[in-house]
Chain A
């Protein structure tokens, strides 16, 4: 029953929408990312799992071209464009880490979605029927028509998240990056957002890379996991990654994967590793409903 509602087409070599190839980032002597490699095929739903400070946001910034990699490279699929950054911006949609719109920002939900079409263009947007229709279609797709005319600052967290997703999707990207979109959402809203993402991306064949420190709400829909710990990453299917030997290797210490009441808990063995102390022995994002 946990079969994902959609299945990505099998990846054909060379067709990846995103290929992260040995990316390292060192900032003022600290290694934030250490030879991270993984790839995402078209339409694939990938969870980027790791605790706070594991390097998730830095990895996103590298993919978006906002942070230079000290080593390695990021390759994009899709039609070639003489200027690499233009290709990237056409290919990648981005939903930033949770932030709050100010109450008095003079933007209705539909205005923010509309900015997703043409915010990079100069001049004042000219209202047109096709523009309005496109915005309406996107509002409908994220089930946001109800609050389309409300100020963004007055929406709930889950509602803002949906509008941000519509803003990113309206430019028809092939890869959607979402940085901790479920943080600060209650369980119900989180499940709604995940279901929405799964539906839209399968309908529109958009690949998703979604970061989270809690894997639970994602498990029903993700095709693959990129598990990030202290800057290092392993990737593969859930079954391939969430295993004691793989995670022990990643964390550099003994880790148990426990199945408890149909959930999976990833538990650090006894030890005095400072890295793990903050997690009270259970890794965040480790609880997983597997069957």
Chain B
């Protein structure tokens, strides 16, 4: 059977333990980021995702410097970042600029210092590349329990506060009039986002982590008008991009220049981007059709949800 598939799956793909880990972790992280990302896009908080990317870099660099796994650094960096954002008032639009300008700048300065100290001590730049761009093939088996635990926490938080979160993301005023503690819901969500960003960072790197959170979700919002379906579609797009990205990266060993594989993160992010472009097509087609037949009102269109 591997003969038929050898043009797609280069030899050794199914035997490699690194591939097994990459597929497993990639799937889990895609589900988590997809579910969380739908709310990130709805709440217009992709800037917070960016912030976690920046401060996750600091955490990851610090982790290398003190000699613990980078995931611990991402988690710690992002949770501190979430606390700082909440304290400065990230929920208010005005506070965002302050948070971005001051906290993130200082954080990245620290990242530069840690990476400098680490790389001069170890005469390698591998840490920098791994933190910034990640490598899902380099995840060690010992990290998996933590990844599973964090994923479970994020999914538990998000699905538990699903309804209050959905209404406060649509309109905070309506939510608080219903007695929903909007601020608390916002804090819990920010925590879930911080952890999701850490998981994305370990998979495709801190710089690209936002793409995995925002990209599949933004595509899903174009493709479906049901909230729960949007979560499923976003997770599926993430999984698809992750799997295909892993296969392509593995295959790229045989591409020029021979002997190295292209970064998985490159493939994943590119696939996410292409999906986003394609997700606009159904709507564009509908609009063209509506222009051709202006009498056909949107209301009589048969319900084709998702």
Contact = CB atoms under 8 A, between A and B. Distances in A.
A4 B164 CA distance: 38
A227 B38 CA distance: 44
A282 interface: no
Contact of A85 (B170, B179, B299, B303): B179
Interface in B151-187: 159-164, 166-167, 170-171, 173-180
Contacts of B167: 115, 119
B299 A105 contact: no
Contact of A108 (B173, B180, B226): B226
Contacts of B230: 106
Interface string A233-258: 00000000000000000000000000
B162 A123 contact: yes
Nearest to A150: B298
Contacts of B221: 104-106
A106 B171 contact: no
Interface in B182-228: 218, 220-222, 224-228
Nearest to A179: B173
Given A106-B230, A107-B225, A119 B171 contact: no
A108 B220 CA distance: 15
A72 interface: no
A99 B171 contact: yes
A105 B170 contact: yes
A38 interface: no
A68 to B, nearest CB: 14
A169 to B, nearest CB: 13
A112 B170 CA distance: 9
A147 B299 contact: yes
Interface stretch (A12-20, A43-51, A88-96, A210-218): A88-96
Interface string A145-156: 011011100100
Interface in A69-98: 85-86, 88-89, 92, 94, 96-97
B163 A101 contact: no
A122 B305 contact: no
Nearest to A167: B174
A94 B305 contact: no
B100 to A, nearest CB: 22
B159 A96 contact: no
B229 to A, nearest CB: 7
A99 B180 CA distance: 19
A119 B164 contact: yes
Nearest to A64: B177
B42 interface: yes
Which DSSP category, helix, strand, loop or mixed, fits chain A's interface? Answer: loop
A147 B301 CA distance: 10
A106 B224 contact: yes
Contacts of B178: 89, 94, 119-120, 171
Nearest to A146: B299
A53 interface: no
A115 B166 contact: yes
A124 B159 contact: yes
Given A105-B170, A149-B303, A151-B225, A123 B177 contact: no
Identify which of A88, A99, A102, A120 gathers the most chain B CB atoms within 10 Å of its CB: A120
A270 interface: no
Contact of B298 (A99, A112, A154): A154
A96 B174 contact: yes
Nearest to B221: A104
B155 to A, nearest CB: 11
A99 B178 CA distance: 17
A254 B224 CA distance: 58
B178 to A, nearest CB: 5
A244 B303 CA distance: 55
Identify which of B163, B221, B228 gathers the most chain A CB atoms within 10 Å of its CB: B163
A125 B163 contact: yes
B251 to A, nearest CB: 35
Contacts of B163: 115, 118-125
User: Nearest 5 pairs between A and B by C-beta?
Assistant: A89-B179, A94-B177, A119-B167, A106-B230, A149-B303
Interface of B: 38, 41-42, 159-164, 166-167, 170-171, 173-180, 218, 220-222, 224-230, 298-299, 303, 305
Given A106-B227, A150-B299, 6 more contacts: A105-B221, A115-B167, A115-B170, A121-B164, A147-B299, A154-B298
21 contacts: A88-B179, A89-B177, A92-B177, A94-B177, A96-B174, A106-B224, A107-B166, A107-B227, A111-B226, A111-B227, A115-B166, A119-B166, A119-B167, A119-B175, A121-B163, A122-B161, A124-B162, A125-B163, A150-B298, A167-B174, A171-B178
